[in-house]
Structures are given as C-alpha cells and as structure tokens.
Amino acid sequence: MFSSSSCRDKKVCVVTGGAGFLGSHLTDRLLKEGYQVIGIDNLLTGSTRNIEHLAGNGNYRFLKHDVTNYIYVEGPVDFIYHFASPASPIDYLKWPIPTLKVGAIGTHNALGLAKAKGATFLVASTSEVYGDPLVHPQPEDYWGNVNPIGPRGVYDEAKRYAEAITMAYHRYHRLDTKIVRIFNTYGPRMRLDDGRVVPAFAGQALRGEPLTVHGDGSQTRSFCYVSDLIDGIYRLAHSDEHYPVNIGNPHEMTITQFGEEILKIIDTPSQLEYHDLPIDDPKVRKPDASKAKAVLGWEAKVPFHEGIRTTINYFMGVLGEEAKCRLKD
C-alpha cells in the first residue's frame, strides 16, 4: 500500500476530509510524528492544493472517495480521524443534504471501519453543537440551544448526531473513541470564499473592499490558530478521554473589534460596512477550555497578532495580483 521502504513499525492513520483546511494540517502533524497517513476526501469543499506538497511522500496516500459510501481500506489501521464535512455557513447552506449525510452516514461508515480495524476513532465536532448559547463561556456539559429546523440546523444537528453515534459505538462496541469540539480556527489553507469571518475580512481588506459586518458587530468569537488546534487534537487522540473536549482559544473579541484589528494590520482603504444578521447566527462564542488544560495539558499559545499576519500573508499569495493592499510594517 505504501512505498516498499515502509514497514509496520509505523502506525497507520486515516484522515477523512484529508484535503480540507484542518484535515491537511492534521496530516502534516501526523507525518511529522512518524505515522503513515491515508487521506480520504471527495473534494466537495477540500482541495488538492492543500496536499500537493505531499506528492511523492512514501508515507502518504490519497483516496478520492465519498465517505457516505462504504469505506474500504486495505491493511491495518490504528487511528481514524473523521474530519469530512462542509464546515462553513456558505458550504453547508449550499449543500445541506450532503452535510447531513456526511454527519450521519459518513460517521457511521467511518465508525464501522474503526470497528473492523480495531482503531482509535476521533470525530471532529464543533462549537456549533452549542447553537446560540445561553451559557457563556461554553463548557462541555452544556447541552446547547440549537434550532433543529433552522437553516444552520443541517450542520449543528449533523454534528450532534455524529457525537451521539460515536458515544453509542463506544458504549455498545467498546470502541476507543474521542470527540473534539472545535471552536473558531484560522490559518493558512482556509478558502477565501468559505464565508467565515477571517478569510472574508482578510480578502476584502486585501482587495480594498468594505469589510462586511453582519448585525451590529457586537457578536463575539474566539480565534484559535491552526497549529494550536492540531496540537490539542493530537493530544486528545492519544489520551484516555472519551467524552467531548473543547479545543479553542478563550481569548474573545467582537466582530467589530476583529475587523478593526484587520484594518490596523493591512494598509487598506477598507472600512467596516454593516449588513443584516443571518438567521440563528450565534451572539457569543467562547470555549471553556479548562478541561483541555486539565486532561490534556493543552492551552493555546500562538498570539493573535502572530497567527493573523501569517494567515494574511498566505491569502496574499493566493490572491496574487488581485491583492491591491499589503501588510503594514
């Protein structure tokens, strides 16, 4: 399956959604740690650009496959990281049924593969399981405030179902499972057009366009740099914890504050421009990360000003000549 120089002393990981933003960064970390990796992605929202640097790597193999269909992987598998899913509002509103299917059928198929291989299984859940929260910050024992029939419900409920079936496999089949609840994460390899606030504001500022703020800008988000998130996920996969763990940076800011930070960093004529708030858009979002610190010894380390400059530099490369503005010194 892998190059002839490979041997069984390397453990094998399967990463579904392996060509996505988070899946590709997770793959890099696993390869760095000495694992062999099989990436699976149907490229609905993922991109081969995210994994092109792995071409020729004897410890990596890519399968273009939709995990809502039966998953076949030859040979032993030690870990399965289930990251397949549209993850931005633009994507899951555009593909509501595939989003529900990958959360339900795709998770079922990935769990079936883990059961067949005797592999550890980690599912990428989300802070969206808390919905528009009535508890702040959000601890893992908060059950959430989700509108199941609203437009965002296709993503929220898909992830809530994924958590439920993962725990069912843990309890009924004694499968070694992990659940990570991912809060807002940013970094290189995000799609500029995915609708999330970091690429949206950065792209608009680099083009010299108005920054689109939905609502009055008082809603809050907490931004975690991708390397910090991946470190938390890696630690969780190798822990004895089976219940959900929040991974996210508890440093909170309003959307207006975030926009103002972007305008301080990029030399741009852009200004904030206010529009209507989307239906069921969460008013606050901040993780209670105390469990991650206690159980995993994890906490976010990358300062915002450092991570956001690295990310904007990446977007400048993607935009090329379309970027009319540059970072301030």
Q: Give the pLDDT confidence of 132-147 residue by residue, as tens digits.
A: 999 999 999 999 999 9
Considering only residues 103 and 278, tell me which one the structure prediction assigns the higher pLDDT.
103
Residue 244, Cβ density class (10 Å: 0-12 exposed, 13-18 middle, ≥19 buried): buried
Sequence ranges of the domains in the chain: 12-185+225-247, 197-221+251-282+302-327
| pLDDT tens-digit series, residues 258-278 | 999 999 999 999 999 999 988
CATH of domain 197-221+251-282+302-327: 3.90.25.10
**How large is the average pLDDT for residues 101-121?**
98
For 12-185+225-247, give the CATH class: alpha beta
Whole-angstrom Cα distance, residue 113 to residue 121?
Answer: 9
- Examine the pLDDT at 4 and tell me if it is beyond 70: no
pTM (predicted TM-score) = 0.96
pLDDT beyond 70 at 3:
no
Domains 12-185+225-247 and 197-221+251-282+302-327 share a fold: no
Residue 7: pLDDT band by 50, 70, 90 thresholds? low
pLDDT at 5: 41
Q: H or E element: which one contains 153?
A: helix 153-173
Catalytic annotation, residues: 155
Q: What is the predicted pLDDT for the residue at 1?
A: 59
**pLDDT confidence band for 216 (50 / 70 / 90):** very high
How far is it, in rounded angstroms, from Cα 80 to Cα 100?
20
Q: How far is C-alpha 64 from the geometric centre of its chain's CA atoms?
A: 19
Can you give the pLDDT at residue 238?
Answer: 98
Per-residue CA distances from 213 to 37, 254, 258, 260, 278 (Å) = 39, 11, 10, 11, 11
pLDDT tens digits along 34-79: 999 999 999 999 999 999 999 999 999 999 999 999 999 999 999 9
